[in-house]
Amino acid sequence: MNASSIRFYIPLLLITVFGVFLTVWITTPEKAPWVGMAYSETVTKIAVALLLFSVALLLTYASARLAIRGTTYESNGVWRSFVAPPAFESSESPNKPIEQIESMVGLNSVKREINSLLSRLQIEQQRRLQNMSVTATSQHMVFTGPPGVGKTEIARQLGAVYRTLGVLESGHLVEVDRSDLVAGYVGQTAERTLAICKRALDGVLFIDEAYSLADGSADGGGFGKEAIEVLLKFMEDHRSRIIVIVAGYPNEMRRFVSSNPGLASRFAKTIDFPAYRPSELFAIFQRIARERQYELPDAGLERLLKPWFADRMKSAEWGNARSIRNLFERVCEEQANRLATSAEFGHTIQHISLDDIESAIAKL
């Protein structure tokens, strides 16, 4: 039982107890409850009053919950109406995670897709609050693009958006890849995948390089396909309590989704993440420096880095923002080596020189 459910059980219990006293008092207006009554008569009246009041209260509660949630329940939705925290209880605003997304460098096409998704979710929220029908749509998505372009961060912020809009209770992110889902022996993959899915319940499950699950040659026994079957069943059994995002390179992800009819029907939306341009990579480098409280040289930095970015982008190992972070770490090492033998140590500790960056580039 989670904290949200407890917050509803305590008022229910208090109201029920109060209702018992009130009902017994009303049914015996000539005297205070239990005064002058036989023991058996008192117990009978209390039991009947408790039963009637509890049934009425629970039916009212369930009806209100169903009216708010609409038709988004899973197969055991009637039971869930009693125990699950209500939709749209969050007082948070989706503005904060959306601002985090908007502040990311580049990704304009991705931001448009996210804003469109947010608009639809907000309209659905209002329709539920007004007891109007809502068309059930799959929230699962495919993120395509090279590594290091913000797919994981967007998924994390989307989880926060889903939480603030009441689509998911917690909106937490569980990030995994093939090695987290697939085991080397028969039967272990299903157990491992199911455990991961349960961890992601009421949140977002992000599977990086998901296309490798459909590659039977990777394990020689098709354990990846076993993981897919477990995942699909869990998604169906808990379709209102988990959102799955699968990610990877565009061509590989298209083959992955088409490899199983269940995947094609559940992952209907794809968002493509383009690779960063040299100017965007330069902006990311500057942002990392600001966040870590370093000062970059003004003269010559852009002329040095942009051509280097453009050349390194041609490499198959290029990791976009990930490679920029690695570069900055190397720059910091070069700065530390320089300052360790300098008389200015302690006075210019926040300054990075052009020589530091050139030395770092030469070693990459």
Nearest CA-CA partner of 328 in 306, 360, 355, 350: 360
Q: What is the pLDDT of residues 276-291, one digit of tens each?
A: 999 999 999 999 999 9
pLDDT of residue 71 exceeding 50, the answer is no
Residues whose CB is less than 8 angstroms from the CB of residue 142 and which lie 6 or more positions away in sequence, other chains included: 245, 246, 247, 253, 257, 267, 269, 270, 271
Q: Which run of H or of E encompasses 174? A: strand 173-176
Chain region(s) in the chain for CATH 3.40.50.300? 95-272
SS3 at position 138: coil
The residue count for the chain: 364
pLDDT of residue 213 exceeding 70, the answer is yes
pTM exceeding 0.75? no
Chain region(s) in the chain for CATH 1.10.8.60? 278-362
Over the chain, what is the mean pLDDT? 82
Query: Cβ atoms within 10 A of the Cβ of 252, count?
Result: 16
Residues whose CB is less than 8 angstroms from the CB of residue 41 and which lie 6 or more positions away in sequence, other chains included: none
Instruction: Output the pLDDT for position 166.
Output: 85
Which percentage of the chain shows pLDDT scores above 70? 72
pLDDT of residue 61 exceeding 70, the answer is no
Domain 95-272 in this protein, CATH class? alpha beta
CA dihedral 124, 125, 130, 131 (to 10 degrees): 70
Instruction: Output the pLDDT for position 80.
Output: 43
Which percentage of the chain shows pLDDT scores above 90? 53
Q: Are 34 and 42 in contact (CB under 8 A)?
A: yes
Q: Are 196 and 174 in contact (CB under 8 A)?
A: yes
pLDDT of residue 136 exceeding 90, the answer is no
- CA atoms within 13 Å, Cβ hemisphere of 148: 18
Q: Are 181 and 193 in contact (CB under 8 A)?
A: yes
First-last CA distance in the chain: 52
Q: What is the rounded distance in angstroms from the CA atom of residue 153 to the CA atom of residue 143?
A: 12
Tokens of residue 313, six digits: 């982008």
Look at the block and give the residue holding tokens 């209102």. Answer: 240
pLDDT of residue 34 exceeding 80, the answer is no
Instruction: Output the pLDDT for position 4.
Output: 46
| Helix runs in the chain, H state only | 3-27, 39-69, 77-83, 95-102, 108-129, 151-164, 178-181, 188-199, 223-237, 250-258, 261-266, 278-291, 301-312, 321-340, 354-362
Q: What is the pLDDT of residues 10-31, one digit of tens each?
A: 666 666 666 666 666 555 555 5
Tokens of residue 254, six digits: 């298209």
Look at the block and give the residue holding tokens 């039977």. Answer: 216
Q: What angle do CA 98, 132, 121 make, to 5 degrees?
A: 15
The per-type count for the chain, helices as H runs and strands as E runs, is 15, 5
Q: What is the rounded distance in angstroms from the CA atom of residue 187 to the CA atom of residue 184?
A: 9
Q: What fold characterizes domain 278-362?
A: Helicase, Ruva Protein; domain 3 (1.10.8)
**Which of 35-39, 195-199, 245-249, 303-307 shows the lowest per-residue confidence on average (mean pLDDT)?**
35-39
